[in-house]
Structure 1
Amino acid sequence: MVMHAADPESINADPPPQPWPAPLGVALTDTTFLHWPADPALVRPLLPPGTEPDTHDGDTYIGLIAFRLRCFGEFLETNVRVYSVDDRGRRGTVFLTMEADRLPWVLAARSCGLPYAWSRMHLTRDAHVLDYGSARRRPAPPGLGTRIRIRVGQPIDGNPLEHFLTARWRLHLSVLGRTITAPLVHDRWPLHTAELIDLDDGLIAATGLPAPTTAPASVLHAPAVHGRFGLPQPL
């Protein structure tokens, strides 16, 4: 177990100062967050060296996140992520799989160590109802994916748990056995309530985590944010 040299940094829904340099700009739209609580012991083996599960009231969380991303073109993405804290107390996100339908992006990101997979994907909207779907092409197994349907509700300020799950300003990543971190600073999430209408997911179980057997503890939606990635650094 990692012994933290510092307590975890405070959670703040407002972004920190933008890093410099921050060469990669991104925009995320139509973002839907589904989250389930989990025992930190289940998540710990999946984290990069030098990090531990980040917790809220004793639980860590598994996230299934679907959105549209604009960066050197526009494409859809769905990822499974968990939450980390490093020995400097910096809270982060660890991505376990990142499904996307733009092959050049997938190949470029995989070359940097990110766990992207190339998938067929769709996102359709009928008034306040959004329907997301993915089915993997490569790597195997083909057809692995998810289907999410939600109904977007009213805007909210967000409570401490909702900020814990969404106000994440860096990622932690293992590359060739070495842990690196990179900041991602964007606008404050404009959170909305959301109702889960339907879910058929195979992605979470494929990461080595148990498939959820209950409804998510948190369902949220955010229309759009803009931000920038800073340069990666060793942990």
Structure 2
Amino acid sequence: MHVVSYAPEQRIRVPALAAGWVTQTFVHWPFRSDEVRPLVPDGLVLDEYDGAAWVSFTPFVMTDLRPSALPTVVPGLPAFPETNLRTYVRSRDGCRGIWFLSLEVGCPLMLAARAVGVPYHPGTVSVSRQEDLVRYAGSRWGGGASYEMAVRLGEPITPAERDEWLTSRWRAYTQRLGIIWETPVEHEPWPLRAAAIVDLQENVTSAAGLPRPHAEPLVHFSEGVRRVRFGLSRPVGRAARRR
């Protein structure tokens, strides 16, 4: 079954962090499962759509990241761009979520999350927009991975099942000290637009251990969601990364 909720699957009663995600593009590629499985810990199951394991390249701008206990009149961190490369997984109890293959970020404070298993890479990351043309770029400090992408925005769409399956995920999984951890997230539904890639040059996928994509990507754009709430992480199983 492909069912996934377009609205949050759980309410977060005690949020740990709040933020917004804006100017976000989703670039989705289908891969063979055997190409992605070695990059995911044994404690998680690849979540497939029509027999394919999907990988998504998603640049965006993080806004107003803050501990949720702070009053809203206190500003959070200044906005900064981020890009993640992710695939789709299920825990052993069947809960759907995402597994990050890499995250590119220009905000050094975010590197603290590496201590809890989030694979951030520091670098120079940028997002710019001229009307309906959005440009994203990033390069890791010290080399190793970079990208440049231009996207032309289209009309708003009513999400079909596959669109919801790819964009509406309410958990992120990480691994630290041999334990799989689940972090829930809650936000309003994504307002999606069609989009087309004008130019894309990247080696982030190959740096993560993936082959070249076999098919043209499916692309979405969203102006964003501004009421993102992250819950407390909890352990959901023990696993070792495959070699």
Q: Is the 8 A contact 2:104 2:140 kept in 1?
A: yes
Displacement of 1:149 after TM fit? 0.6
Q: Look up the match of 2:223.
A: 223
CA distance in 2, matches of 1:219, 1:51: 26
TM-score by length of 1: 0.91
CA distance in 1, matches of 2:40, 2:214: 23
Q: Look up the match of 1:234.
A: 235
Q: Is the 8 A contact 2:116 2:175 kept in 1?
A: no
Q: Look up the match of 2:206.
A: 205
Displacement of 1:41 after TM fit? 1.6
Q: Which runs of 5+ in 2 are unaligned?
A: 66-75, 237-243
TM-score by length of 2: 0.88
Q: Is the 8 A contact 2:30 2:214 kept in 1?
A: no
Residue from 119, 122, 134 that aligns with 1:130: 134
- Counterparts of 1:47-66 in structure 2, within 5 Å, are 47-66=40-59
The count of residues paired between Structure 1 and Structure 2 equals 223
Residue aligned with 2:55, SS: strand
- Counterparts of 1:18-33 in structure 2, within 5 Å, are 18-33=11-26
Q: Which runs of 4+ in 1 moved over 4 A?
A: none
CA distance in 2, matches of 1:213, 1:201: 15
- Counterparts of 1:148-159 in structure 2, within 5 Å, are 148-159=149-160
Q: Look up the match of 1:4.
A: none
Of all paired residues, the percent bearing the same amino acid is: 32
Q: Look up the match of 2:90.
A: 85
Q: Look up the match of 2:113.
A: 109
Displacement of 1:35 after TM fit? 0.6
Residue aligned with 1:44, SS: helix
Deviations, residues 27-61 of structure 1 (Å, cap 9, x unaligned): 00000000110111221121123211101111110
Please report the RMSD computed on the Cα atoms of aligned residues, expressed in angstroms.
1.4
Matched letter for residue 127 of structure 1: E
